[in-house]
Amino acid sequence: MNEQLQIIDLLLSKNEIKKAEVLIAKLLRADLQPDERSGLMIYRARTRLLAARPEDALDDLATVAAINPIIYEKAPTLELRGDCHLARFELASVGFADRNDTKLAEENYNKLIEHFPDYNNIGWIYYQLGRVCVTKNDIQTSIEYFQKALLGPSHVSSLTAYCYERLGFIAYYEERNPQKAAAFLNRAIDTFTAQNNRNWLIQVHILRSRVLYSLGDYETAQQVAEETLRAAGSIEGKQAQSEALLAAGEIFAEVEGHDRDVIQYLQQFLQIAKRPVGIDVTWSRVHEMLGNAYFNLGQFNSALVAYQSALQFHPDHPWALSLYYRVARCYYHQRAYENVLETIQQMQQIAKTEEQEIDDYRVYDILGNALFALKKYDQAVDAYQIALRIAPANADSLPKIQSYYDLAKELI
């Protein structure tokens, strides 16, 4: 049996999960003593956890509790129980995650620390507790746990890298300190040793590219984004590729002159990412960025379709008025002036319903232009008048608006 368990350990170290499961299933069919069966069930639970099946792993651990309650309370089993509950919480579909799983994970980890303070993988336990605290938005406690994890013993070779990545994540998204985040992420990359976990490394580079961009290092941010894309393209599975494409699209969308790159990356994202069945903020944002890129290239019909898709994926978009204005711009450039009027009427209705004011002078400028083109000069005068009243004194288009305002008055 010991020889077989060593083979299973070797298979798991190589991430050959299916082969390990087959061997475990074969061994479980034999006539085993309770200790042997419970030991194998723990192996199968660990294997199922690695296969992202924490529910099945917890079922195996429940069997262990029934046939061998002593081993069920050992430190490695407590660790596995905590890991399974945390994984089940993280892998649950949106809206179906059970907060009780994080509570149970925390209880198992704390029980381990209390009863086995010299456990040889205590660093990992602190790291997992830190991750639990992040899910509860207890940021300060999570930082303390990650710092403890850096000092604790562990057989997880890249635990140091994992801790620095989490600290970098917190520094960027919670503390709003990109310089601190960059330092942590650089340490994470420098200390990473688990080369078989390339998905994790890709996620770090995606975050690092965003941090670099926020620091104004646009060139390096673009280089990192492109390198990440190449790395993501060389591994199986679409999730890493889609996330890398999205990150690259977001970064290049903020840099002038890269509209074709933005379209290329985001169209690839739409091709490989799973299309949502309903409202989705990410897909709305992707179509908004596509709309901007198409508009900059003068492809107004494609821009129009993209902006309309952005609104469909997020009907309650906080910047819906801005999107409708961009839709109106597309119609104007297509000389669909009646559609411009209808779109701006929609904007006005939304603003009235939400008790907002349309304070962007460009809306009334383009409204005046459409009315002027339709020879509705009296209405155009009213629109231009509002634009002139609310436009900032340094607006570049003020002289143009004034000249059309004067001309429309003459043509009434």
pLDDT for res 89: 96
Per-residue tokens: 285: 């944002």
Does residue 74 sit in helix, strand or coil? coil
Per-residue tokens: 223: 């280089």
pLDDT for res 363: 96
For residue 372, name the pLDDT band (cuts at 50, 70, 90): very high
Residues in CB range of 140: below 8 A, 6 or more apart: none
Please state, as a whole number, how many other Cβ atoms lie within 10 Å of the Cβ of residue 230: 9
For the stretch 379-395, pLDDT in tens is 999 999 999 999 999 99
For the stretch 392-407, pLDDT in tens is 999 999 999 999 999 9
For the stretch 67-97, pLDDT in tens is 999 999 999 999 999 999 999 999 987 677 7
For residue 8, name the pLDDT band (cuts at 50, 70, 90): confident
Per-residue pLDDT at 309 exceeds 70: yes
For the stretch 156-196, pLDDT in tens is 999 999 999 999 999 999 999 999 999 999 999 999 987 66
pLDDT for res 229: 87
For the stretch 127-159, pLDDT in tens is 999 999 999 999 999 999 999 999 999 999 999
Q: What's the rounded Cα separation, in Å, for the pair 411 and 398?
A: 20
CB burial readout 277-302, b (16+ within 10 A) else e: eeeeeebbbbbbbbbbbbbbeebbeb
DSSP string, 183-252: HHHHHHHHH---TT-HHHHHHHHHHHHHHHHHTT-HHHHHHHHHHHHHHHHTSSSHHHHHHHHHHHHHHH
Per-residue tokens: 365: 């400028």
Per-residue pLDDT at 237 exceeds 70: no
Q: What is the mean pLDDT of the chain?
A: 93
Closest CA to 324 of 302, 299, 349: 349
Contacts 24+ apart (CB under 8 A), 278-281: 279/313, 279/314, 279/315, 280/313, 280/314, 281/313, 281/314
Span of 86-95, 292-301, 317-326, 377-386 with lowest mean pLDDT: 86-95
